[in-house]
Amino acid sequence: MEHVEIKGIIPPIITPMHEDESVNYEELRNQTERLIESGVHGIFALGTNGEGYILTRDEKKKVLETVIDQVNGRIPVYAGTGCISTRETVELSREAKAIGADVLSVITPSFAAAGQEELYIHYETLAMSVDLPIVMYNIPARTGNALERSTVERLAKIENIVGIKDSSGDFDNMLEYISAGRGENFSVLSGNDSLIIRNLLAGGTGGIAGCANVFPKTMVSIYELFVEGDTEKAKAVNESIGEFRACFKYGNPNTIVKLAVSMLGYNVGNCRAPFNLVSPEGKTAIKRVLEVCKEKGMC
């Protein structure tokens, strides 16, 4: 297994779509290049912001092929391969490896309730089946299944389970994960953009940041400033996205992010129905926030 440093700002790249909801692969290349030019440390295809939950198997493969081809080895590509069943997760993960993914990002199974031993066996089986670094993905509000600290501690001892993205929004939970992985080659990434600097200060290694689709250079600077030792400025930059994040009250966060990128002038389209509606009030608020952010040089 090739070593990949799990660190920095890694955007879960949006999946552009045409008006008929087919994937716009040409614009996907444009967005990939835009993010790379902004200095991101990796790109995560097929994540929540990439609408991996609503793409067909063939679309997932083609999205991943497109991103990997455009990246051309310049930065690591993370592939979201988590499915409800262990069997399908293994199959998609093997396909991602064959396509050329560098890292697997694997969300917990969803809908049916899973016990901690079931979750352990799910990830252990995957790790034994695919020789790629695996970053687990904890987002219980969406899946209904949370990885407990004790389970993460056990899984962190498996060689190719190298990290976890925590999108619980609970900083204490993130601290538990950081503690659980201490002493192992294990990274903890924040899935909540507002917690990235706190993650870094606590011993985490960065964030998989949806807002990096909107403000890639701004988000990258949080990590770069931290590495340079300018913690106070890094904190201020992290706080600067708060007004945009406040717009998440108007709809699904990934719907808001995609709409914002569209408002910046990129041909990314809407999210696939039914997750594609934002009220007129919400659109006005997002537009106003983006105007302020532009004046500040954030986007």
Active site members: 137, 165
Q: For residue 262, give the amino acid letter.
A: S
Greatest pairwise CA separation for the chain in angstroms:
51
Write the CB contacts of 35 (distance below 8 Å, at least 6 apart in sequence): 11, 13, 43, 212, 213, 216
Element (H or E) spanning 107, and its range? strand 103-107
**Is 186 strand, coil or helix?**
coil
Instruction: Give bridge partners of residue 107 from the DSSP assignment.
Output: 137
Contact 212, 11 (CB under 8 A): yes
12 DSSP 8-state letter: B
Element (H, E) at 80: strand 77-80
Encoded tokens for 31: 């967005």
By C-alpha distance, which of 147, 135, 158 is closest to 78? 135
Task: With residue 180 as reference, give the H or E element that holds it.
Answer: helix 171-180
Q: How many CB atoms lie within 10 A of CB 95?
A: 17
Answer left, alpha or beta for residue 281, where phi above 0 means left and psi between -120 and 50 means alpha. Answer: alpha
Contact (Cβ atoms closer than 8 angstroms) between residue 200 and residue 226: yes
Closest by CA to 132, choosing from 84, 167, 110, 100, is: 100
